[in-house]
């Protein structure tokens, strides 16, 4: 079991998401930064889909009641165990009574905490992920709060592991986000498309797990911004009447009636989800074949990222 001594501003239980429910208006949820989440699980010997914590801007302070192992990945939140510094992107052994704390993020937005065995919360529609707007999954469908207790599934011994330095993402600077134009790129003027793929867009504080709101050069419509509502894919860049893009993320609505100018490559979703309010990003137009190549490349990096440490 773990006890939440301080939950941080927004800490939720997530697994790899709730698939097959979008037709009923229920999004997949799951981690915004899938790459970092999977590595947190692999560092503690879990299956990729085991439930862990997603922490936003500042992490929680938790007490561990049994011996085990944890790992912290994602945004650069300083980690301490009983007040002593502990490494990120590596296996951390813990014992009963240890207090683990994640401080404010120095770079990035979201950190992930994996627990050997995975968190034991009820399955809702075959997933343990928290969907806050729907109030389902996780712990009573809500963010964690002080005093909460979470069970952890039993696990065997965990060998110390570490993520290779070259595989750790860079959450600083001005990320370039690759996107495939469409499905309604024809509803925008050439000037509007040049604005999107040639300008700089700032992440706004109104961003959340549903979508990242951006501000920059107006993306001009050619034939109005409304369409007959259709399905929204992960990473859809929706452009309402004000010409300012919204990138739809893991808690997105299932359908929408605003034009979508492009769709971000699945391997680049984390670049948007880890960009802080006030941070800028740029978009680069690519084709579908290039998007597939980038995904294969990302999967190759993921497979080789975790290494066992010598005794």
Average pLDDT over residues 186-192: 97
State pLDDT tens for residues 118-173: 999 999 999 999 999 999 999 999 999 999 999 999 998 899 999 999 999 999 99
3-state secondary structure the chain: CEEEEECCCCEEEECCCCCCCHHHCCCCCCCCCHHHHHHHHHHCCCCCCCCEEEEECECCEEEECCCEEEEEEECCCCEEECCEEECCCEEEEECCCCEEEECECCCCCEEEEEECCCEECCCECCECCCECCCCECCECCECCCCCCEEEECCCCCCCCEEECHHHCCCCCCCCEEEEEECCCHHHECHHHHHHHHHCCEEECCCCCCCEEEEECCCCCECCCCEEEEEECCCCEEEECCCCCCEEECCCCCCEEEEEEEEEECHHHHHHHHCCCCCCEEEEEECCHHHHHHHHHHHHHHHHHCEEECCC
Pairwise CA distance, residues 43 & 90, whole Å: 6
Contact call for residues 40 and 71 (beta carbons, < 8 A): yes
Average pLDDT over residues 196-221: 97
Q: Is the pTM of this model over 0.85?
A: yes
State pLDDT tens for residues 125-134: 999 999 999 9
pLDDT of residue 156: 87
Pairwise CA distance, residues 35 & 170, whole Å: 12
Q: Is the pLDDT of residue 310 over 80?
A: no
Q: Is the pLDDT of residue 67 over 90?
A: yes
Helix axes 34-43, 288-304, angle to 10 degrees: 20
Per-residue b/e over 271-280, b at no fewer than 16 CB within 10 Å?
bbbbbbeebb
Average pLDDT over residues 258-268: 97
Q: Is the pLDDT of residue 111 over 90?
A: yes
State pLDDT tens for residues 17-36: 999 999 999 999 999 999 99
User: pLDDT-based confidence at 309, cuts 50/70/90?
Assistant: confident
Domain 176-302, CATH 3.30.70.20 — does that match?
Answer: no
Domain extents in the chain: 2-164, 176-302
pLDDT of residue 48: 98
Q: Is the pLDDT of residue 229 over 60?
A: yes
pLDDT of residue 211: 98
Average pLDDT over residues 200-210: 97
pLDDT of residue 311: 52
Q: Tell which wins on pLDDT, 59 or 311.
A: 59
271-273-274-279 Cα dihedral, nearest 10 degrees? 90
Pairwise CA distance, residues 215 & 247, whole Å: 11
Pairwise CA distance, residues 273 & 144, whole Å: 20
> Residue 17 — left, alpha, or beta (φ > 0 → left; ψ -120 to 50 → alpha)?
left
- 68-74 β-sheet, strand order: 11-14, 52-56, 110-115, 68-74, 91-94
Q: Tell which wins on pLDDT, 224 or 91.
A: 91
Average pLDDT over residues 92-108: 98
What's the chain's average pLDDT? 97
Q: Is the pLDDT of residue 13 over 80?
A: yes
Q: Is the pLDDT of residue 188 over 90?
A: yes
Pairwise CA distance, residues 58 & 161, whole Å: 24
């Amino acid at each position: 079991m773990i006890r939440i001594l301080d939950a941080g501003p927004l800490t939720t239980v997530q697994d790899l998401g709730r698939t097959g429910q979008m037709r009923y208006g229920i999004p997949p949820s799951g981690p915004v930064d899938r790459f970092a989440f999977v590595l947190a699980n692999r560092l503690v010997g879990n299956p990729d889909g085991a439930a862990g914590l997603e922490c936003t801007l500042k992490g929680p302070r938790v007490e561990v009641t049994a011996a085990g192992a944890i790992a912290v990945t994602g945004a650069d939140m300083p980690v301490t165990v009983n007040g002593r510094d502990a490494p990120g992107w590596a296996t951390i052994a813990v014992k009963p009574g240890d207090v683990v704390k994640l401080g404010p993020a120095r770079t990035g937005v979201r950190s992930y905490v994996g627990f050997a065995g995975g968190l034991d919360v009820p399955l809702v529609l075959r997933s343990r992920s928290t969907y806050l707007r729907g109030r389902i999954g996780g712990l009573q469908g809500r963010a964690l709060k002080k005093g909460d207790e979470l069970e952890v599934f039993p696990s065997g011994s965990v060998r110390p592991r570490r993520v290779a330095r070259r595989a750790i993402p860079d959450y600083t600077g001005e990320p370039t986000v690759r996107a495939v134009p469409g499905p309604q790129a024809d509803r925008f003027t050439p000037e509007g498309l040049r604005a999107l793929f040639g300008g700089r867009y700032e992440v706004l504080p109104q961003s959340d797990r549903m979508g990242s709101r951006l501000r920059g050069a107006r993306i001009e419509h050619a034939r109005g911004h409304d369409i007959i509502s259709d399905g929204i894919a992960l990473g859809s860049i929706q452009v309402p009447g004000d010409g300012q893009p919204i990138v739809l993320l893991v808690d997105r609505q299932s359908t929408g009636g605003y034009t979508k100018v492009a769709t971000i490559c699945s391997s680049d979703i984390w670049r948007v989800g880890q960009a802080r309010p006030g941070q800028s990003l740029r978009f680069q137009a690519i084709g579908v074949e290039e998007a597939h190549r980038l995904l294969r490349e990302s999967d190759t990096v993921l497979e080789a990222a975790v290494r066992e440490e010598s005794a």
